[in-house]
Amino acid sequence: MPIETTQSEGHAATLRSARPDVVAAVFHDLRAPLSAIQAVADAVEDGVLAQDTLDWHFRRLRLLAERLVRLTDDLVIAGDAPAVRSEAVGDIIDEALAAVETGAQQRLELRCTAAARGARVRACRPRVLRALDNLLVNAVRHTPASQAVRLSARIEQASVCFEVADRCGGIASVDLLRLFEVGHRGEGGGSAGLGLPIVAWLVESQGGAVTARNQRDGCCFQLRLPRA
């Protein structure tokens, strides 16, 4: 039987009560890319980078800058009051796909019936789009370049379930149960950042739920929103 994460009493309260951990996680997520950017800048200034490596370093700088922008966007959206209204599932999916980088779009596999596209959910669009974007970016990052990431949506009794499935090889059971905890480090010493805790909070703050489970050769994140 697959192990699945469960929704806590509310990540909004968790984030507030764990404020020292939140501050530490923000510090971690900011310091790591900033230190890397500083190291590259110092190397450029000192003239120690080989000419044939400059393109690689510039691409790395761009990725690090994007990581910082994503973190600040997450924090800004998390600080705004959610405006929940009726939203079309098809519109959410189209906008989520459009936000993904062009190169990554070619690796996305969409599965969504006409009925699911036409369904409506009660959602705060900026928050659900940010949550889906974080999940898609993570899925693409941890899936081999030759394989696809699946985005799907299906109607359930009282909700619509969005799924993002990757080919990461799966997550250790002990880590799967704590994916959405602030500051949690995986078995391999993985990130102690705010990415997944913020995803959970963004979803739960608008009446939804997010879970994760292992399947075949990867991991599947399920984001559920109440039907309108």
pLDDT band per the 50, 70, 90 thresholds, residue 102: low
What CATH number is given for 1-228 in this structure? 3.30.565.10
pLDDT in tens, 154-174: 999 999 999 999 998 888 888
Region 27-31 average pLDDT: 66
- DSSP secondary structure letter of residue 193: S
pLDDT band per the 50, 70, 90 thresholds, residue 47: confident
How far is residue 188's CA from residue 3's CA, in Å, rounded to a whole number?
19
The domains of the chain are located at 1-228
Q: Is the pLDDT of residue 7 over 60?
A: no
The dihedral formed by the CA atoms of 170, 32, 26 and 172, expressed in degrees to the nearest 10: 20
Q: Are 173 and 3 in contact (CB under 8 A)?
A: yes
